[in-house]
């Protein structure tokens, strides 16, 4: 199959006129990709599934294909480290662009050309386990050629009990205990935010007879309705935008709304508004601490709106979980987290624009279920799960981390 794939891609790439240069090469590929016959397209799909099968077998979380940066190799990320996959064929930028575009439909190709980026999901049948495996994919331009990242989506959810939350934190996030309010899961890309969100959804699906609407770009793990009824709405496929999905959800009789990411002011304002109407809302942000998450939401909106948003956020926010995946001593990665539960004192600090006080409130509220990132990293170090160096490297407040480590 490998030789046949190389032949298909090199034959197509050789037909690109030398006068077509720059990004127009990608446009040429998009316009002529239909010239690849169905048998050849099927071969390319089988090759993609072969790459993804290798990912599963080698415990890789991500694959990189195409673009100038790959040096023509396919790359895997395994336990946090990127490396070339030398037993897969090298693809020139034109061959890789052709390969990636052959996986897309016409609408996706148009979106990629106009927006220079495309988020989508991909599913294939993994024969060895006889199950469907899903991937989150992002296609984008890299020096006038197309690059692709695909991230493996876990085929199962982790029980929320396995994530190490205090019972009070789980209770705060539970729809049965608090019927409305905003709970955030934050962290950098690849920190496991989606996994935690899926665990929270699965937790409710076991006992809560609720209607859960998930709005994501793209949809990753697909939940099967159990006690709850769960809707999946993918941005760009089932709904035009996060904001539209949130507004439309109000007319769909939801109890819980999951917003994949609060990535712009419109989505932030829509999320606060829908929470204000008495719904339980879960969402994510790309921030590394609870305090930064609060400050980011307020800073994202127009300055004239900030005072109103600060007061509204103080009223609806119930919890913030900020997390990181830290390399462990056994060569894998382990979850470290900061947990903020919004008490009357925290509400007052947000309303009075004294968010700098919140860190010490978390620091002193361990019995209530709160924990700072530094305290959790110290716990992992004491339990001999992570190294001292990584405890320091992954801390948000390195001065505080060093103070904690002095006593160990």
Beta-carbon count within 10 A of 40 CB: 18
* Separation of alpha carbons 397 and 402, rounded Å: 9
What does the pLDDT average to over 135-144? 92
| Residues 262, 396 within the same domain | yes
| Residues 137, 86 within the same domain | yes
Q: What is the pLDDT of residues 11-56, one digit of tens each?
A: 999 999 999 988 899 999 999 999 999 999 999 999 999 999 999 9
Contact 270, 305 (CB under 8 A): no
* Separation of alpha carbons 395 and 52, rounded Å: 33
Rounded to 5, what percent of the chain is helix, strand, coil? 45, 25, 30
| Residues 215, 352 within the same domain | yes
What does the pLDDT average to over 107-133? 88
What the block records as the tokens of 68 is 């100038």
Q: How many domains would you assign to the chain?
A: 2
CATH code, domain with 96: 3.30.450.90
Angstrom CA distances, 37 to 32, 33, 44, 228, stand at 11, 9, 11, 44
| Residues 188, 110 within the same domain | no
What the block records as the tokens of 179 is 């019927």
Chain-wide mean pLDDT for the chain?
A: 93
* Separation of alpha carbons 280 and 258, rounded Å: 9
| Residue 156 pLDDT | 78
| Residues 211, 127 within the same domain | no
* Res. 334: pLDDT tops 90: yes
| Residue 228 pLDDT | 97
CA–CA–CA angle 169, 258, 317 (5° rounding): 45
Last residue of one domain, picked from the residues 138, 153, 168 = 153
| Residue 29 pLDDT | 94
| Residue 204 pLDDT | 97
* Boundaries of domain holding 49: 2-153
| Residues in Cβ contact with 19 at an 8 Å cutoff, skipping those fewer than 6 apart | none
| Residues 172, 127 within the same domain | no
Question: What is 94-121 written as a DSSP string?
Answer: HHHHHHHHTTS-HHHHHHHHHHSEEEEE
CATH code, domain with 368: 3.40.50.300
Q: pTM, whole model, 2 decimals?
A: 0.80
DSSP state of 80: T
* Separation of alpha carbons 392 and 289, rounded Å: 15
Q: Is 193 left (phi over 0), alpha (psi -120 to 50) or beta?
A: alpha
| % residues pLDDT > 90 (the chain) | 78
What does DSSP say about strands 256-259 and 333-341: parallel, antiparallel, or unpaired? unpaired
* SS3 state at 295: helix
* Separation of alpha carbons 66 and 323, rounded Å: 30
Q: What is the pLDDT of residues 62-117, one digit of tens each?
A: 999 999 899 999 999 998 889 999 999 999 999 999 999 999 988 899 989 998 99
| Residue 48 pLDDT | 96
What is the pLDDT confidence band of residue 192, given thresholds at 50, 70 and 90?
Answer: confident
Any idea how long the chain is? 408
Angstrom CA distances, 147 to 28, 54, 122, 366, stand at 16, 19, 16, 45
| Residue 2 pLDDT | 87
What does the pLDDT average to over 171-194? 93
Last residue of one domain, picked from the residues 115, 134, 153 = 153
Q: Where are the alpha helices (DSSP H) in 16-149?
A: 24-32, 38-57, 93-101, 106-115
What is the pLDDT confidence band of residue 217, given thresholds at 50, 70 and 90?
Answer: confident
| Residue 380 pLDDT | 96
The region of weakest confidence among 234-243, 251-260, 349-358, 360-369 is 234-243
| Residues 166, 148 within the same domain | no
| Residue 233 pLDDT | 94
- Output phi, psi for 151, to 5 deg: -115, 135
| Residue 289 pLDDT | 94
* SS3 state at 390: helix
* Separation of alpha carbons 378 and 401, rounded Å: 8
| Residues 308, 340 within the same domain | yes
What does DSSP say about strands 229-234 and 211-216: parallel, antiparallel, or unpaired? parallel
Contact 66, 96 (CB under 8 A): yes
| Residues 164, 142 within the same domain | no
User: Which is nearest to 325 in space by CA: 260, 386, 274, 379?
Assistant: 386
Last residue of one domain, picked from the residues 153, 174, 203 = 153
| Residues 327, 232 within the same domain | yes
| Residue 152 pLDDT | 87
| Residues 193, 141 within the same domain | no
| Residue 370 pLDDT | 97
| Residues 209, 71 within the same domain | no
What does the pLDDT average to over 240-262? 92
More confident: 144 or 322: 322
What is the pLDDT confidence band of residue 128, given thresholds at 50, 70 and 90?
Answer: confident
| Residue 371 pLDDT | 97
What does the pLDDT average to over 315-319? 96
């Amino acid at each position: 199959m490998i030789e046949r794939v190389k032949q298909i891609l090199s034959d197509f790439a050789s037909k690109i006129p030398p006068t077509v240069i720059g990004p127009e090469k990608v446009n040429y590929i998009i316009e002529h990709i239909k010239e690849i016959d169905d048998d050849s397209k099927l071969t390319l799909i089988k090759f993609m599934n072969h790459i993804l099968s290798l990912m599963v077998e080698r415990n890789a979380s991500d694959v990189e294909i195409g673009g100038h940066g790959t040096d023509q190799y396919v790359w895997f990320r395994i336990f946090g480290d990127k490396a070339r996959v030398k037993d897969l064929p090298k693809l020139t930028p034109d061959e890789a662009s052709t390969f990636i575009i052959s996986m897309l439909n016409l609408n996706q190709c148009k979106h990629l050309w106009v927006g220079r980026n495309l988020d989508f999901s991909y599913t294939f049948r993994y024969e060895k386990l006889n199950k469907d495996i899903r991937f989150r994919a992002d296609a984008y331009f890299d020096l006038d050629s197309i690059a692709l990242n695909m991230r493996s989506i876990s085929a199962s959810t982790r029980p929320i009990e396995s994530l190490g939350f205090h019972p009070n934190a789980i209770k705060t996030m539970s729809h049965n205990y608090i019927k409305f309010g905003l709970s955030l899961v934050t962290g950098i890309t690849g920190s496991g935010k989606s996994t935690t969100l899926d665990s929270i959804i699965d937790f409710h699906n076991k006992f809560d007879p609720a209607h859960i609407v998930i709005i994501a770009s793209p949809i990753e793990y697909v939940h099967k309705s159990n006690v709850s009824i769960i809707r999946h709405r993918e941005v760009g496929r089932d709904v035009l935008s996060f904001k539209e999905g949130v507004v439309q959800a109000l007319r769909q009789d939801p109890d819980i709304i999951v917003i994949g990411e609060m990535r712009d002011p419109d989505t932030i304002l829509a999320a606060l508004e829908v929470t204000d109407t008495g719904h339980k809302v879960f969402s994510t942000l790309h921030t590394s601490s609870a305090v930064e998450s609060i400050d980011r939401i307020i800073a994202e909106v127009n300055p004239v709106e900030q005072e109103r948003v600060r007061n509204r956020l103080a009223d609806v926010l119930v919890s913030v979980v900020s997390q990181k995946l830290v390399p462990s001593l056994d060569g894998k990665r382990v979850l470290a987290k900061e947990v903020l539960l919004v008490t009357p004192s925290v509400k007052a600090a947000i309303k009075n624009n004294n968010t700098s006080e919140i860190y010490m409130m978390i620091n002193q509220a361990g019995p209530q279920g709160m924990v700072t990132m530094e305290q959790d990293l110290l716990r992992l170090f004491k339990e001999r799960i992570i190294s001292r160096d990584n405890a320091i490297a992954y801390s948000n407040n390195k001065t505080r981390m060093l103070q904690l480590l002095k006593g160990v």
